[in-house]
């Protein structure tokens, strides 16, 4: 039996070598491509890539034309929780398994969301500007709000939002959440409908997957329904937010500020005005980042592919594919 080939589709900001070594030591061949995320860019495959049976995907676009050129692929493992870079309908039609990262950076993303919320509420940027210019307390114009009088709203209530609720509940006066797929919440969190979430949240933190239904869903209608003077935090996907509508909401005073770890079309345009807007805190998609999470982001996708190669199926999958005979023994 020839060694199965696993194609790493793109070079991200993570070092793929540990993941490739894990697969190669187990009896696989690996190859690294540089496929684009841009849907209009040409997809150039390395020689021999057509025999790949599995993909490890960073940001690369996985669509029908690419899969037509990779007819043997039966498993796609992502280096992220999101799978929006994959044409799910096409993968389902072909019986391809999709497995994403679950829990690799739950603690980190929750902590980053809370950090951004507190930085907005405590006017951290303005305070740093005062001290940098030689000023002191009396130069700081905005007066922070008392956190115990504020409501933290969680749009989406999955693993990360639940962890955020745990660590933020002692700080905020109340925590509310909306998720149409969740029927029960732990003590200290009140489940509400979407309209009430928007109306009651002083800080609204987004924890939604990106899909055709959620893309741009935080736009003019949502901002107009939000509590006046609220802050927005987004550590999920940049495309969830209509950024033109966000600027309008900031200009009108409907929103007090925003903190974004993600922007649309990453890597974001260096000229994106949100990067320099004094009302907006932007971090460079680092919510997931820690020494522990880096190891999991590199090794877990490779381990997921190994499970599929050895068993022919996956117990934990974002998309269940067609069970096959194991392609790798041991």
Active-site residue (options: 237, 243, 254, 256) = 237
Q: How far is CA 72 from CA 24, 29, 52, 77, 195, in A?
A: 19, 14, 6, 15, 46
Q: Look up 11 and say whether it is catalytic.
A: no
Residue 221: CB atoms within 10 Å:
11
Q: Nearest Cα to 231, choosing from 323, 141, 152? A: 152
Please pick, among 11, 285, 296, 313, the residue that the annotation labels catalytic: 285
Tell me if residue 222 falls in helix, strand or coil. Answer: helix
For residue 126, the SS3 value is: helix
**How far apart are the C-alpha atoms of 145 and 233, rounded to whole Å?**
17
Cα–Cα distance measured from residue 172 to residue 153, given in angstroms and rounded to the nearest whole number: 10
The Cα 325–Cα 312 span in angstroms is 5
Distance CA 256, CA 13 (A): 33
Compute the distance between CA of residue 280 and CA of residue 232 in angstroms, rounded to an integer. 9
Residue 285 annotated among the catalytic residues of the structure: yes
Q: Indicate the burial class of 315 (C-beta count within 10 angstroms; 0-12, 13-18, 19 or more).
A: exposed
From 3, 220, 266, 310, the catalytic residue: 266
The residues carrying an active-site annotation are 237, 266, 285
């Amino acid at each position: 039996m020839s060694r199965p080939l696993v194609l790493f589709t793109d070079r991200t900001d993570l070092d793929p070598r540990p993941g490739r070594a894990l697969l190669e030591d187990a009896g696989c061949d690996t190859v690294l491509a540089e496929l684009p995320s841009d849907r209009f860019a040409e997809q150039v495959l390395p020689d021999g890539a057509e025999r790949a049976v599995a993909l490890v995907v960073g940001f690369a676009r996985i669509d029908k034309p690419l899969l037509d050129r990779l007819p043997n692929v039966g498993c796609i493992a992502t280096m992220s929780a999101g799978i929006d870079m994959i044409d799910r309908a096409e993968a389902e039609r072909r019986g391809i398994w999709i497995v994403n990262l679950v829990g690799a950076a739950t603690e980190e993303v929750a902590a980053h969301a809370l950090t951004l919320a507190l930085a907005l509420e405590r006017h951290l940027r303005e305070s740093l500007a005062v001290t940098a210019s030689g000023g002191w307390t009396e130069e700081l114009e905005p007066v922070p709000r008392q956190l115990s009088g504020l409501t933290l709203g969680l749009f989406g209530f999955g693993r990360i939002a639940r962890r955020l609720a745990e660590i933020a509940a002692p700080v905020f006066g109340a925590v509310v959440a909306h998720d149409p797929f969740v029927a029960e919440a732990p003590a200290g969190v009140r489940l509400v409908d979407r309209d009430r979430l928007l109306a009651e949240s002083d800080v609204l933190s987004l924890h939604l997957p990106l899909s055709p239904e959620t893309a741009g869903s935080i736009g003019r209608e949502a901002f107009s329904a939000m509590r006046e003077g609220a802050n927005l935090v987004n550590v999920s996907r940049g495309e969830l937010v209509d950024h033109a509508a966000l600027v309008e909401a900031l200009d009108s005073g409907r929103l007090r500020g925003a903190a974004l770890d993600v922007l649309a079309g990453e890597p974001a345009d260096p000229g994106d005005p949100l990067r320099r807007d004094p009302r907006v805190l932007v971090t460079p998609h680092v919510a997931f980042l820690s020494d522990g999470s880096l190891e999991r982001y590199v090794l877990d996708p490779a381990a997921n592919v190994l499970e599929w190669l050895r068993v022919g199926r996956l117990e934990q999958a974002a998309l269940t594919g067609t069970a096959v005979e194991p392609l790798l023994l041991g």
